[in-house]
Structure 1
């Protein structure tokens, strides 16, 4: 038997999906270990081995692939616990990290403070050199000056160095020579070179990305590297398979690439969600979907249109700019561990503070005293205190009620139950706002998308989120509690490349255009070849960042190899006009406004083998075989507790229909279906929850295979 494992390290839980050759999948979940996340990863693997009566060595010898999403770099950035980093940059611009783009980001906030740079000012060292925008030398690199600055950085004990010069995207010579000198003085330091990792226009974006990449480099190397990290621990257990790391662009990369450009992993955890969401939505023929994942700490939302997740090159973490392509995921601090509190004007708030895994919500009975979302869900009857994590973890209703009553209820003049209902409503409103944001900012109406809901806490809140936005349909995958881990096993290798070539399309130098794309293709082929991908499994996506002349922001438009090789971009310009109109509501095509090219992009994709999603046989509409018992639960529409039937999620099979209100329990998640909806199980075991007035259409779609047979 050969196995594949997807691992998603979260703030509260570490999730695993173990897939066998035939597509059979098993869910595992262990508490995260924030001080060393690899401990939780190894614990989960040990649990899998134990369940199969194997030693860890024997089990790992049968594992062909581990795909790992990590929050190590994310947490290091959020907590400012990265490496001591020096920055070498062109004289006169060392304060760009603080000046940012020079605009007031919160116009009416007189107390607004910019994000703290990851490099202290005294470690940002000016270098005498200058290039113009074409890459021509205005002032040569002053090597004597540079060596003096390197003596200073060495004396300060810098563990990492970032190099970012003005206009180096057009000529990397000065940065390359600087890198040679840095290695003379600090051979063990992590080195981040802007012309190597992001050769693109816009200085602040480039210097921020380069500095952040340096700042987290030693952190990821310590966690992942072959000396003391995860690679070392896996090798001790005889792991001979392939370890892949989830990247923020929705693809996977080798550990070597991740350690060379650690910034690619900064938002890797949530990136698996949209990939999984699309797989389950395609099971019912949906090309468009909104995915949301509510874990223990955060709530992540992404939008997929025409089977393609939205991406951005203007990502941020803690308001620090990252300009690599990444999935456009909106994240807010709303999870099962989000703490309820009363603000200075007496309003109930939820999060972003989280109880985390240690000590966790009060109901965990591990010393936590703050009332969290999970405490409210327990008091409201949605969670079974004796079945949390399949009974492996007992929850304390008394501790949850006490925390809610003392920290929220008494301050608002409410009972514990009333306060819990308020906490439930407030966090639902926050999550609905995040879903609305990602749809509206892309020019879409959330009512036109089904909501794929996941995470250990998400399905408990899905119906209320959908009602707030008038979304008619919800899909809850059977593997929803380990959603991102499931997505990681369905992800391809991806490498993004960019070249800046500013020109009006009508003045395009075709030979230069072809040469730049050929360079990027060669780089992509080389990286995928090193990762063991054969030529017949390599494909490419080509894009151009275009704008109208004198605009500031670009729109990315795809093109074919034929268009790239011919240099005839007339059809590309037409697609740009249409995309601009869809995004901003107008096009300047009829005015013959020139279209300007800024960046050329290429994504090299190595297709990986993916586990099947096994289909179930049709078993009829009667769910009585899955019925467990009734439980008293709070029903928001009537603002009262009612006896609600509870079903065993793993006993529900294709075709079973559930009348609302009801609760569906699994080992690692619980789904609450409110009275406005009913539910049916599709052939993949996904719970399809729909507004009652849409029943005929939903049943026709979900049961089409049965009717065809």
Structure 2
């Protein structure tokens, strides 16, 4: 069992990258939103054909140590607000004001919760409180709440409410509207972070739950005993039953950041911006000085959460984002056609226009080679969609509409990265649609160099190859004393031993790291230091938290450092007519990346066809093929 399968599931396409200890095999397949386990198994079966010369799903499954799975389903669900209505039961009504600080938080609160807020008074008698709680929970469900979050001012407050609700609602009824208690999810003293974490986790949980357990069931049908691992947004992986739904949010981009970090170190780059363009979202993060930018307490947009998280911004624009006309102007996203029905040119019933349709009609995409020829694109359907939804509403020709739509798309992309650009910035562009848009967005954002990995089309799945099995804990220490810190240490040891045993590892075989944090009364970190059991504690510390990270190492690939190569002329595979103006079509040289020697060079306009991706090199840009087979694009203007 020497294979590791890495899967990055997107809204439109699902990427599969298999590492056998020596090299990578990879493929892509259309996401099947009606049953996400279907595209997972379809992709693994396609990968087996690449490995063995014929499809043999069972053989590959039984030769695999782990399947590590990442998904943008949670990210997309939150961007598009596709999830269960949430209700909250709170002890202190002022928490609502705390949760609505900032325009983004206010909008998210209105969309996920709205008026479904119940306030309970724990000073009431037990009998009156029980009656009041039941009435208010019933009212929340009547108002449409499909999930309920209970937020007490202390663990003890929540325990009182929990005991009452368990007595009053039989488990089989309570289970139909799940309740989540905030202190059980995370022991964060800062209540806005703890509450938002609970709300978002409740919103994302059903998106993940049905699919992951269904996938595990199908694996058992194939007599696969190794557990499916969920890849998390902190860069580690864990079993489905040991994973928190919120930690799947932006997990795919974390894989992209891990891959970006590996490339930054390989090429000696000081500042790399990641632009991961999927079907529904574009994810932006950074690697500075070889380190991934990570927040100790993360945020989703401007909404604070309690868990560490890589600093990634997800923008609602991707290869399947709808480009339309609103009040006489072009808009790009955040709505997406996804994989079903997909862009109009997929021929699966889509009638909305996307950048994929635009690039097909501009000539950037070859209808016969898309997804390495696995999906033929329909230009007539693309033209009909753009005519009806953009050209006619604006009163312009289709040709003019294509150019305006492309410009609007570049501008939307550039707006996601401009504020992060430095003089030494390199833009790493990947995902299925990233290489097509990189030059246009980079020039508007002031970036002079773009790196397109050879594995750009499956790069986030490739990045998951650097993941280990891991668990993280952060627990408040009750009382700022050495004795209480040691007692908390002992409790965490017991939890970690149990959890890692369930993952299939002994704690003694894992790497552990302990950190003691001094915190303000509201839970904000003041200082941190490494901790060993029995260490003295600063008597002046107001509050303490103890954090534990446990890692069971898995095999990782090693990237070879880039080496200097002599420039040679790139070998063209022909030309392709590409529209550059409403009344002008240019013959643009096409290059196949697999045919180019290290050092191959050419100037734009040009098109480079890679495995499962098309890179567009605009006029004024030059491309160079590195010793590792990646593309470096340089703006020579």
Same fold (TM over 0.5): yes
C-alpha distance in structure 1 between counterparts of 2:555 and 2:203, whole Å: 34
**Aligned match of 2:299:** 315
Q: Indicate whether 1:474 and 2:468 are aligned.
A: no
Give the secondary structure class of the aligned counterpart of 2:568. Answer: coil
1:269-322 deviations in Å (ceiling 9; x for gaps): 3322111111222211235321111111111101122333223434237x8654
- Farther off after superposition, 403-412 or 515-524: 515-524
**Aligned match of 2:266:** 283
- Farther off after superposition, 645-654 or 477-486: 645-654
- Farther off after superposition, 362-371 or 459-468: 362-371
Task: Tell me if structure 2 keeps the 8 A contact 1:436–1:446.
Answer: no
Q: Per-residue deviation at 1:45? A: 1.8
C-alpha distance in structure 1 between counterparts of 2:562 and 2:103, whole Å: 52
Q: Per-residue deviation at 1:218? A: 4.6
Q: Indicate whether 1:10 and 2:10 are aligned.
A: yes
Which residue, out of 626, 629, 647, partners 2:574? 629
TM-score calculated relative to the size of structure 2: 0.86
Q: Per-residue deviation at 1:619? A: 8.3
Change (3 A) 1:596 1:148: closer
**Aligned match of 1:46:** 45
**Aligned match of 1:605:** 551
Structure 1 segment 379-528 matched on structure 2, within 5 A: 379-437=361-419, 439=420, 445-500=421-476, 509-513=481-485, 516=488, 519-520=491-492, 523-528=495-500
C-alpha distance in structure 1 between counterparts of 2:18 and 2:266, whole Å: 21
Give the secondary structure class of the aligned counterpart of 2:616. Answer: strand
Q: Indicate whether 1:661 and 2:633 are aligned.
A: no
Which residue, out of 231, 254, 258, partners 2:239? 254
Q: Indicate whether 1:66 and 2:67 are aligned.
A: yes
C-alpha distance in structure 1 between counterparts of 2:354 and 2:534, whole Å: 54
Structure 1 segment 682-693 matched on structure 2, within 5 A: 682-692=626-636
Q: Per-residue deviation at 1:671? A: 0.8
Give the secondary structure class of the aligned counterpart of 1:360. Answer: coil
C-alpha distance in structure 1 between counterparts of 2:555 and 2:209, whole Å: 28
Task: Tell me if structure 2 keeps the 8 A contact 1:654–1:685.
Answer: yes
Task: Tell me if structure 2 keeps the 8 A contact 1:300–1:329.
Answer: yes
Structure 1 segment 77-226 matched on structure 2, within 5 A: 77=78, 82=83, 87-90=88-91, 92-93=92-93, 96=95, 98-101=96-99, 103=101, 105=103, 115-116=109-110, 118=112, 126-129=119-122, 142=126, 145-146=129-130, 149=133, 162-168=149-155, 174=160, 177=163, 181=167, 185-186=171-172, 188=175, 190=178, 192-225=180-213
**Aligned match of 1:580:** none
Change (3 A) 1:285 1:76: closer
Change (3 A) 1:354 1:286: same
C-alpha distance in structure 2 between counterparts of 1:339 and 1:298, whole Å: 11
Give the secondary structure class of the aligned counterpart of 1:647. Answer: strand
C-alpha distance in structure 1 between counterparts of 2:538 and 2:175, whole Å: 48
Give the secondary structure class of the aligned counterpart of 2:423. Answer: helix
Task: Tell me if structure 2 keeps the 8 A contact 1:618–1:653.
Answer: no
Q: Indicate whether 1:565 and 2:565 are aligned.
A: no
Give the secondary structure class of the aligned counterpart of 1:452. Answer: strand
1:388-411 deviations in Å (ceiling 9; x for gaps): 111121122333234334432344
C-alpha distance in structure 2 between counterparts of 1:406 and 1:126, whole Å: 50
Which residue, out of 494, 513, 537, partners 1:540? 513
Which residue, out of 222, 240, 253, partners 1:237? 222
1:540-598 deviations in Å (ceiling 9; x for gaps): 26374767x9xx895676533479935479xxxxxxxxxxxxxxxxxxxxxxxx99767
Q: Per-residue deviation at 1:539? A: 3.5
Give the secondary structure class of the aligned counterpart of 1:276. Answer: helix
**Aligned match of 1:700:** none
Change (3 A) 1:32 1:370: same
Task: Tell me if structure 2 keeps the 8 A contact 1:446–1:469.
Answer: no
Q: Per-residue deviation at 1:11? A: 0.9
Give the secondary structure class of the aligned counterpart of 2:99. Answer: coil
Change (3 A) 1:21 1:323: same
Change (3 A) 1:87 1:400: closer
Change (3 A) 1:669 1:59: same
C-alpha distance in structure 2 between counterparts of 1:331 and 1:244, whole Å: 24
1:105-136 deviations in Å (ceiling 9; x for gaps): 379xxxx85633646766x555553xxxxxxx
Q: How many residues align?
A: 628
Q: Per-residue deviation at 1:41? A: 0.9
Give the secondary structure class of the aligned counterpart of 1:353. Answer: strand
Change (3 A) 1:418 1:343: same
Task: Tell me if structure 2 keeps the 8 A contact 1:619–1:653.
Answer: no
Give the secondary structure class of the aligned counterpart of 1:485. Answer: helix
TM-score calculated relative to the size of structure 1: 0.78
C-alpha distance in structure 2 between counterparts of 1:502 and 1:642, whole Å: 71
Change (3 A) 1:142 1:287: farther
1:468-525 deviations in Å (ceiling 9; x for gaps): 222232111111111221112222234333234699xxxx645545555665465445
Task: Tell me if structure 1 keeps the 8 A contact 2:496–2:550.
Answer: yes
Give the secondary structure class of the aligned counterpart of 2:634. Answer: strand
C-alpha distance in structure 2 between counterparts of 1:233 and 1:529, whole Å: 24
**Aligned match of 2:341:** 359
